[in-house]
Structure 1
Amino acid sequence: MVLQLTVADVMTQPVLSVTPDTPLQQAVQLISDHHISGLPVVDDTGALIGELSEQDLMVRESGVDAGPYVMLLDSVIYLRNPLNWDKQVHQVLGTTVKELMRKDAHTCSLDLGLPRAASLLHDRGTQRLFVLDSDAKPVGVITRGDVVRALASHQGG
């Protein structure tokens, strides 16, 4: 029965992660190669400190919602040298994970019930929850797709 399942029963594991100093290109390659929408960012001890998502990368590439500071820099760079504008904007926006990561990763514990996890995914408007152990280290990830697959496999039971 789905109501009795926990996050630990359906999460994807092991979870891939990056550090703040991981080159952005390497993180992009991981996301692309593994067909995932985001990565947890961990410190030297393996504890979660943030998240890098496809959305963060899209903002970087499109410049949308980049903020007034970046928009001002963008204008200055363009006026200074319009021929190198694209290259210089990308340098300003960063080349490592720490320059694009968000520190507000959505998380849950291993023993969280699946219905509550589904509710959190919906209410927070996120694609994933990183599942943390008691040391705040990511041990898995549960996505909207994981919830739907669990519902489909447990219908009627």
Structure 2
Amino acid sequence: MAKTVADVMTPNPLVISPDAPLTDAIALLAQNRIGGLPVMDNTGKLVGFISETDIIWQQSGVTPPAYITILDSVIYLENPSRYEKELHKALGQTVGDVMSNGPMITIKPDCSLSEAARLMNQKQVHRLPVLDGSKKLIGILTCGDIIRVMAIGTDDD
């Protein structure tokens, strides 16, 4: 029988608040050797995800957008709003400042691992929050979880 997301996900994942200091998120990631944390508001709603990639903006710096000047006018060669977003992340002090909060890509626990792998590849994500029918966070599925199942050869899907 094919394994489902619920069979291999990490249940009851660590979570963090958007108001938490960024240093708290860094400490949780390092201490638990994980690559990301779901961000939950005070009502228990999933509002974003903070990953190592979001946090490394602090160290990577930000490159201003390329521009040219013609007759005292500045013409940007790329969208300056991208720079503003990157700068906000680089200077962020709270989880909410740097987390990814676009449309949340989630999965249901009864989905097959094949479905999960396709979704991860399609959306280019490394982890999926697992939500039950009432949209409550019940787990996290990572690429590593799927790889471990593949390594032991128990996914018949």
Same fold (TM over 0.5): yes
Aligned to 2:112: 113
Gaps of 5+ in 1: 75-88
Aligned to 1:69: 84
Query: Greater share of strand residues, 1 or 2?
Result: 2
Amino acid at match of 1:138: L
Amino acid at match of 1:118: A
Q: Distance in 1 between matches of 2:16 and 2:150?
A: 30
Q: Distance in 1 between matches of 2:154 and 2:21?
A: 43
Length, aligned pairs only: 138
Shift of 1:69: 2.8
8 Å Cα contact 1:6-1:112 kept in structure 2? yes
Amino acid at match of 1:141: I
Shift of 1:37: 0.8
Q: Distance in 1 between matches of 2:12 and 2:155?
A: 29
Aligned residue for 1:8, secondary structure, equals helix
Query: Greater share of helix residues, 1 or 2?
Result: 1
Residue deviations 1:41-100 (CA, integer Å, cap 9, x gap): 1111211011111100112321247842378x79xxxxxxxxxxxxxx96xx12111111
Aligned 1:77-96 pairs, distance under 5 A: 93-96=91-94
Runs of 4+ in 1 over 6 A off after TM superposition: none
**TM-score between the two structures when normalised by the length of structure 1:** 0.78
Aligned 1:1-157 pairs, distance under 5 A: 1=1, 4-64=2-62, 67-69=82-84, 93-104=91-102, 105-155=104-154
Q: Distance in 2 between matches of 1:133 and 1:123?
A: 22
Aligned residue for 1:142, secondary structure, equals strand
Instruction: Let me know the Cα RMSD of the aligned residues.
Output: 2.5
Of all paired residues, the percent bearing the same amino acid is: 40
